[in-house]
Amino acid sequence: MEFEQEQQFVNDIKRYVSENLPLSKMEDSELEEKIEEIVAQKIGDLYCSIDQRVSIVQQVYSSIRGFGLLDSIISDDSITEVMINGPENVFIEQNGRLFKLDKQFESQRRLEDVIQRIVGLAGREVNQANPICDTRLPDGSRVNVVLPPIALCGPTLTIRKFSKTPMTIEKLIAYGSITQEIADKLELLVKAKYNIFISGGTGSGKTTFLNALSNYIPKDERVITIEDSAELQITGVQNLVSLETRNANASGAGQITIRDLIKSSLRMRPERIVVGEVRGGEALDMLQAMNTGHDGSLSTGHANSTEDMLSRLETMVLQGAAGLPLEAIRQQIASAVDIIIHLSRLRDKSRKTMEITEIAGYENGKIILNPLYVFEEDENSTLSKVSGSLKRTGNKMVNDFKLKLAGIKAEI
């Protein structure tokens, strides 16, 4: 059966099923069985391979109860990102490369139905009055939706796929992002309750690294995670509270922001607060939490370098408290954040840890940075392939007070 013939066949069966079966009264398994029967009857003597027959059943079923075209994409573990720009333009990222799929949604209406189904699963809403929405799939994958008239090319859907197996430091070592020696040092820093900030550009692996690092948190601590859409996978911690923001409803009420959640978390006796990503005025609340005895906090932020991350933190704090003098903000950052780990996505699409830097204090109006590890390319690097490793600088770690307090005698 040719591709066009198959699609026509799928559409005919969809129409038949919608018109002749009591869909609202049928269980998922019952519906799937019925579709299999109808497909077998309709195919009759037509030549159709077993794979094609299974594909037809899945397409019909997923168009009624699933996410249609998205189901097959989401089930493919090699695809890490899905970008849909209107019903006809479906792009995926696979093995670090972007390309366009030769598949498309039947109509804009069908794509909108899928979007409403995804958004509804997480109890959110998106419509013309509220055309932008951040949400997640049941497996935790991050979803961003923008509807017309804001999106000129039609409903726009971006999905950052969620790994089914939690990221571990061992995997980061296997990928060459860090070495075992550095992993051991990071473990000491997390256990000694250093406040660690992970910075990097889009797609550099910040959340992945935060997931891996969070597995070093002692299992007997009370951990509170705060995110726009929950995607952290902290394993082994029993006393774990996961909080998620909420958008305003159609009438503009009911919004819960990261700032609200951080303030609330401080009354929940946290031993650690993990903020998925800081991107606005909530930076001030987070810094204040770090400065008021809530050590061991972990968070991420978008930036092109360690210095950029500090500048962005200053700007974000000003969003939350416009009247604060810059000197006070810098002192707050210098005393709250202990370590910045900067990640980057390099020219060969590999993700690497570029720098591990200690914030060593505040002097003469400037935050003092003390780089501990810096990524250096070696002679094997080419224009298409980056080769190198994190090298220890000659700088001694200045703030070892928390290490001593935790009874750790090792040098970082």
More confident site: 14 or 206: 206
- What is the identity of the amino acid at 162? F
Neighbouring residues of 363: CB distance < 8 A, sequence distance ≥ 6:
none
| Average pLDDT rounded to a whole number, residues 311-330 | 92
Q: Which of 214, 231, 360 lies closest to 296, judged by CA?
A: 214
Judge whether residue 197 has pLDDT over 90: yes
Q: Which residue has the higher pLDDT, 142 or 95?
A: 142
Band (350; pLDDT cuts 50, 70, 90) = confident
Question: How would residue 333 be classed by pLDDT, with cut points 50, 70 and 90?
Answer: very high
Query: What pLDDT score was predicted for residue 396?
Result: 93
Averaged over 59-67, what is the pLDDT? Answer: 76
Return the sign of the alpha-carbon dihedral for residues 343, 345, 347, 353: positive
For residue 252, the model assigns a pLDDT of: 75
Q: What are phi and psi of 77, to 5 degrees?
A: -70, -15
pLDDT at 218 (0 to 100): 92
Backbone angles phi, psi at 29, to 5 degrees: -65, -35
Is 70 exceeded by the pLDDT of residue 354?
yes
Q: Percentage helix, strand, coil, to 5, in the chain?
A: 35, 25, 40
Distance of CA 257 to the CA centre of its chain: 18
Residue 161 has pLDDT above 90, yes or no: no
Question: Best-predicted range by mean pLDDT among 64-73, 170-179, 214-223?
Answer: 214-223
State residue 200's pLDDT score. Answer: 95
For residues 130-143, average pLDDT: 86
pLDDT value for 303: 95
pLDDT computed for residue 304 by the predictor: 95
Instruction: Check residue 233 and give its pLDDT.
Output: 83
**Strand arrangement, sheet containing 132-136:** 97-100, 90-94, 79-85, 156-160, 142-146, 132-136
Three-state DSSP state, 145 = strand
In the predicted model, is pLDDT for residue 29 greater than 70? yes
Instruction: Give me the amino acid identity at 209.
Output: F
Q: How confident is the model at residue 1 (pLDDT cuts 50, 70, 90)?
A: low
Asked if residue 206 lies in contact with residue 343, where contact means CB atoms within 8 angstroms, the answer is yes
Decide the pairing of beta strands 196-200 and 298-302. Answer: parallel
Cβ atoms of 139 and 164 closer than 8 Å: yes
What average pLDDT does the structure give for the chain?
88
Report the pLDDT value the prediction gives residue 334, as an integer from 0 to 100: 95
On the question of pLDDT at 164 being above 90, the answer is no
Higher pLDDT, 125 or 403: 403
Range in 31-35, 147-151, 279-283, 370-374 with the lowest mean pLDDT? 31-35
| Half-sphere exposure of residue 377: CA atoms within 13 angstroms, side-chain side | 12
Beta strand extents in 297-411 (DSSP E only): 298-302, 339-345, 351-363, 366-377, 388-392
Supply the pLDDT for residue 6: 78
- Higher pLDDT residue, 411 or 4? 411
Listed range (26-40, 138-152, 337-351) with the worst mean pLDDT: 26-40
Instruction: Please tell me the predicted confidence (pLDDT) of residue 95.
Output: 80
